[in-house]
């Protein structure tokens, strides 16, 4: 994992131009390994995201006896079947990956063995009660620091019972964790959310042959269903594309085509928000790939204006807000973000981190609120030195802010970028005209 501190200085650009693809979707890459491992038969995965988070998931399943081959082009998972995982001989290290630890807590709760999940210093601070509490209602036996609310988590696998759970938050990680536990539970598991969170798990479970019912923001799953291995082509990650979308919008004279991006409607909040700000983003060549909708995104520089952001669009753009904050910092007028309390418990407190950093590089007045912020846009940022707080999305957002600044921006540590977007700075170098 990223131990070596790596500062990075990004200079302003005259334009962002070219045609690119972004790495495979992180969420879908995680789930393809997990479902492939507990399916019958072989799953082959192309465009798998070779980032540290996904490698942590792969290593965990290898440690439980699943044969997984990776030749650099294709990942081949030889499924062990629903009941074929073996007790790991050591603690499973989830690195920096919240998806890995939360989804696997659900999956491991229904096994017939003991396991322990841990992660890096940042992951060990992230809240786990949101999954351990509903899993305990299903009969899961989970111990951890802070009375089971913090990793490491020790899981004594047991026979679970299906429950009907009303989640207080819209969270794909909570929903997916309970659905994976539900596969191993007696009876039916039903999860309802206040608004629909990303639905990659539902789509992929269906693609692997599971029968589940969805109605609005409620999903229902019968326990004991066997899955069948499939061929998966992972679409480009819209969360990674978001940085390039914002970069091309805020640097005058830009035109960029980003090919093969996943446009799952539970994930396209960033496109809706940027278009509402006046961003020129056109979806071309829309099609479906392995059960997921995909398109090419054509983006041209635009004069952005401040807007109000809240309600149902927030969970559909939750990972993209650091990049959206950069767009808001140089938009005309005021941007108000609300209903985004979830940002305070990401890899870092992303509201506080973006507010503090944008002030350091010459942003207008930024007022933090409990569940968001109020930002006054400025014509251009001044550049300066900022801190990533070990958060990949903060590091990349501040690096794209540099592209339209009056002077370079230095991020104190960008080693964390490898968790989700290896090659980010090389790609930025290819499209930035200087």
Stated length of the chain? 434
Give the integer Cα–Cα distance in Å for 256 and 238: 15
Whether residue 87 contacts residue 115, with contact meaning beta carbons closer than 8 Å, is answered with yes
H helices of 315-414, where?
Answer: 321-329, 350-360, 392-403
Which pair of structure tokens corresponds to residue 304?
A: 């952005």
Based on the residue annotation, tell me whether 319 is a catalytic residue of this protein. yes
Q: Which of 244, 148, 140 is nearest to 185 (CA)?
A: 140
Give the integer Cα–Cα distance in Å for 158 and 135: 11
The number of beta carbons lying within 10 Å of the beta carbon of residue 182 is 31
Whether residue 92 contacts residue 167, with contact meaning beta carbons closer than 8 Å, is answered with no
Give the integer Cα–Cα distance in Å for 376 and 85: 53
Give the integer Cα–Cα distance in Å for 217 and 157: 29
Ranges of beta strands (E only) in 99-156 are: 114-118, 141-144, 150-156
Query: DSSP readout, 202-265?
Result: HHHHHHTT--EEEETTEEEEETT---B--EEEPPBPHHHHHHHHHHHHHSTT-EEEEEEEE--T
Q: Which of 295, 288, 305 is nearest to 257 (CA)?
A: 295
The CA distances from residue 396 to 7, 9, 267, 425, in Å, are 12, 11, 19, 9
Give the integer Cα–Cα distance in Å for 58 and 69: 10
Give the integer Cα–Cα distance in Å for 68 and 186: 29
Q: Which of 40, 83, 76 is nearest to 58 (CA)?
A: 76
Grouping H, G, I as helix, E, B as strand and the rest as coil, residue 374 is strand
The catalytic residue among 296, 319, 391, 413 is 319
Residues in contact with 24: Cβ distance below 8 Å, sequence separation at least 6, in sequence order: 47, 48, 49, 234, 235, 236, 237
Q: Which of 217, 157, 224, 226 is nearest to 187 (CA)?
A: 224
Kindly list the catalytic residues: 319
């Amino acid at each position: 994992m990223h131990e070596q501190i790596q500062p990075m200085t990004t200079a302003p650009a005259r334009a962002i131009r070219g045609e690119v693809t972004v790495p495979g979707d992180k969420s879908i890459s995680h789930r393809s390994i997990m479902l492939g491992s507990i399916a019958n038969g072989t799953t082959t995965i192309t465009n798998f995201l070779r980032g540290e988070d996904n490698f942590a998931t792969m290593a965990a399943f290898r440690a439980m006896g699943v044969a997984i081959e990776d030749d650099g082009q294709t990942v081949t998972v030889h499924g062990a079947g629903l009941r074929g995982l073996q007790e790991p001989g050591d603690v499973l290290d989830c690195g920096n990956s919240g998806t890995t630890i939360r989804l696997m807590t659900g999956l491991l709760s229904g096994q017939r063995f003991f396991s322990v999940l841990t992660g890096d210093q940042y992951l060990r601070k992230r809240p786990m009660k949101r999954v351990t509490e509903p899993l305990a209602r299903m009969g899961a036996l989970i111990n951890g620091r802070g009375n089971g609310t913090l990793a490491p988590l020790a899981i004594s696998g047991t026979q679970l019972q299906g429950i009907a759970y009303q989640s207080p938050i819209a969270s794909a990680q909570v929903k997916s964790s309970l659905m994976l536990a539900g596969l191993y539970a007696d009876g039916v598991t039903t999860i309802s959310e206040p608004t629909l969170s990303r639905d990659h798990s539902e789509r992929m479970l269906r693609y692997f042959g599971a029968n589940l019912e969805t109605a609005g923001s409620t999903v229902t799953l019968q326990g004991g269903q066997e899955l069948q291995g499939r061929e998966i082509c992972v679409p480009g990650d819209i969360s990674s594309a978001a940085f390039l979308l914002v970069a091309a919008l805020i640097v005058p004279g830009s035109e960029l085509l980003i090919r093969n991006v996943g446009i799952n409607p539970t994930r396209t909040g960033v496109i809706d928000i940027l278009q509402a700000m006046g961003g020129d983003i056109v979806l071309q060549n829309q099609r479906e790939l392995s059960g997921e909708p995909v398109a090419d995104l054509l983006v041209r520089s635009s004069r952005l204006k401040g807007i109000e952001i809240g309600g149902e669009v927030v969970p559909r753009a939750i990972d993209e807000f650091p990049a959206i904050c950069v767009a808001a910092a140089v938009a005309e007028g005021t941007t108000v973000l609300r209903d985004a309390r979830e940002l305070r418990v990401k890899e870092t407190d992303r509201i506080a981190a973006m507010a503090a950093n944008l002030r350091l590089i010459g942003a207008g007045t930024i007022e933090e609120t409990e569940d968001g912020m109020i930002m006054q846009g400025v014509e251009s940022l001044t550049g300066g030195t900022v801190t990533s707080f070990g958060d990949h999305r903060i590091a990349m957002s501040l690096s794209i802010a540099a592209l339209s600044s009056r002077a370079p921006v230095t991020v104190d540590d960008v080693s964390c970028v490898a968790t989700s977007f290896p090659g980010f700075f090389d790609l930025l170098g290819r499209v930035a005209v200087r």
